[in-house]
Structure 1
Amino acid sequence: MRKLLVAGLGLFLAAAATAAPFVWPNGAEAAVHLGYDDGLDSQLDHVIPQLNKRGLRASFYVPINSPTLPGRQNEWKAAAAAGHELGNHTLFHSCSSKGPGREWVQPHRDLDKQMAAQVQEQVIAANTWLQALDGKTRRTFTPPCLDMQAGGQDFVAALKPHFVAFRAAGPGLVTDTAALDPYAMPVYFVEGMSGEQLIALVEKAASQHALIGLLFHGVGAEHLSVTREAHDQLLDHLARHKARFWTDSMVNIMENARKQAGK
């Protein structure tokens, strides 16, 4: 029993030794990643101009079948040139049809009816398409609906070499280097939140010198939306307190965090 206790203590001390708080650029208190999914018109019409106006950078996860491509591809190119990340959100935004609220999933886009290898090929093809838009070879990935199985098999693990990180877990903060898993990064779903609620989340991250990700869809329009007022209230707060909040693309934040964690 004593040997087991000593061994357990040793493991605990080793883990504690590897944990270290993040040190964000220019002494910022938190790293804030704003991510916008599905390549929506409201993101081009409102979000990107508002981010640019305040000198903030974000990530946009654009499925290649988005109705804004190819019709508005020059605007996506301009967003990338302004410093925003065009993240991978697959070719066709396939999701599992299982569970409540998934009635919208079309049979030919049902992950449960696809092979893992098939989906992997589509994700890699989406990278090539995005590279043609922005010239970048390093980016991050968000599986649509955060579904990570196709035909009952994991399809994301084999994709790790192609990405800096995945947004692939439910809400939470990453507070130290030992807790960092680049391929299971948590995000807060912010549908319907007020500006005060959004600000409270980033302030919580600042209190712990943490990394936080907020996942948006429509802004003032479309699906899973927040109001423009709530969204812009958050942007105003981040812009007023740039010394406290490092607001940048997911790829830039994760490259910094991975370097600190040695991962």
Structure 2
Amino acid sequence: VRIDGNYDEVNRLCTELVDLLDWAFCNINIRPFYSEGSKTLTYETAEQLGWRLPDEIVIPIASGCQFVKHNRAARELIDLGLVTGAGAAMPRLTGAQALGCSPVAAAFQRADGHVVPVRPDTIAKSIAIGNPSDGGYVVQIARRTGGVVDSVTEEEILEGMELLARTEGIFTETAGGVTVGVLAKLARAGRWRGDETVVAYITGHGLKTAEVLDGRSQLEEPIAPSVRAFRERFGRLAEAAPPASERAATTASAR
């Protein structure tokens, strides 16, 4: 279902539908399987580097949950002794946002690190969260580890997608373009030495946002972020879900 609204509005609509229809809400950002599972990306990074941590990791920021968990994963690897010697140093953690939705990058520039919510306006829809729940933690972690939080323009996002496709053969969505864009921006500024290992996390496949490449969307028209609009478009689907009492009775009889 395509919604004519930002990430926060879609989340609110889904929450309303869950309460109204007794459906399950599978949003990954509020599920423990996602938050804990995110750590495996850092585990695999260390393993593929010969059980050492990189000097810096560049991570796209939406809610900030993934960023926070990568910090925890690196600390766990160190505390458990799975990485040792020079490879056991805590990596600098750097965040990447689209300029059109960059409340955490803006907070990083403030002395108090306070995150001020914004209304997203960017093609990087999958990370367009204007009021990130873990934004404050991201600022703290970035500062503590020596990282930064930066942002890139829409043009730089598309350039990042094109660069990754041309040089690595990887088709990423717009969030990956944000990560590569910030990576390139910091590299041009001379942030890293030639002997440092920097890892960029590309977290989504290009088919998620393929329409941005030609300016056209082949998908159905979106609906407004409201229960009324959902019922008007998907009335029969909404009525198909049996009441919770009926499902409970069915489950009990099956036992």
Normalised TM-score (structure 1):
0.28
Q: State the TM-score, normalizing by the size of structure 2.
A: 0.29
The structure with the greater share of residues assigned to strand is 1
Higher-helix-fraction structure: 2
Higher relative contact order (CA 8 A, sep 6+): 1
